[in-house]
Amino acid sequence: MRESLPQIGITQGRAPLAPADQPLAAYLTAVRAAGGEPVLLPASLDRDEFDSLSAGMAGLLFAGGGDLDPRLYGDVPGDRLDDVDPKRDERELALARQAAAHQRPFLAICRGLQVVNVALGGSLIQDLARDLPGSLRHTTAKGAEPTLHPVEIDPSSHLGTLLGSRSLTANSYHHQAARRLGAGLLPVAHTSDGVVEALELSGHPFGMAVQWHPERMLSEPAMLTLFRAFVAAASTEAGPRG
């Protein structure tokens, strides 16, 4: 009898993408390549359905997307916000807090890093170009080749151990970043301008967040290693978690 694969819940907005859409397809491909079974968690589900579906997941992937409402971290909304989705914010913040409290394996990507940070009491830089003068370019124009920049990694971190490297060249699609860090989060990678590029949750079996999009870099062996480590951690989970 074929052994079942660990189910990985992938968060989505209120208007979920079709599986063939390129951004979502990259997540599905990465999870499958790492030995997991992807399951979509759209914010359009009612609360009970969303909670029931997410509770059965072995691991949680907090995907990229639009900006969080700054009022959620005590800030005033600026004029450069993009695609704010209050229902998605509500669903994902609650799910991130639950994953942290119950030590459920998670991998958070781009917006996902920001969700985890805010969920645990952190705050965000609303717009790097405006609020951090002299910073590197971190955004990528729609349809353009991805912006690339070096990222320095703490070699003593879980991420550094997994990747076996002190640095990498990462893609960059974000205009926001972590400012004040949430409770228990450790900065384990950054760019030369000081922007946090990865976080780990202290004392968690696999609580990792990266600001780049590793699912779009699977030709790099280290990025597939990251997904495999996440799915392997999730494979130890069994049954619903409250």
Q: Is 152 a catalytic residue?
A: no
Position of tokens 């694969």? 5
* Active-site option among 158, 174, 175, 213: 213
Q: Is residue 3 annotated as part of the catalytic site, yes or no? A: no
Residue 110 is a catalytic residue: yes
Encoding tokens for residue 86?
């209050």
Supply 156's token pair: 């003593």
Q: Write the secondary structure of 30-55 as one string of H (helix), E (strand) and C (coil).
A: HHHHCCCEEEEEECCCCHHHHHHHHH
- Choosing from 92, 110, 200, 237, the catalytic residue is 110
Which of the residues 92, 197, 215, 237 is marked catalytic? 215
What is the C-alpha to C-alpha distance for residues 236 and 88, in angstroms, rounded to an integer? 28
DSSP 94-134: HHHHHHHHTT--EEEETHHHHHHHHHTT--EES-HHHHSTT
Please identify which residue in the block is written with the tokens 């004040």. 180
Decide: 220 and 165 in contact? Cβ < 8 Å: no
Q: Which residues are catalytic?
A: 110, 213, 215
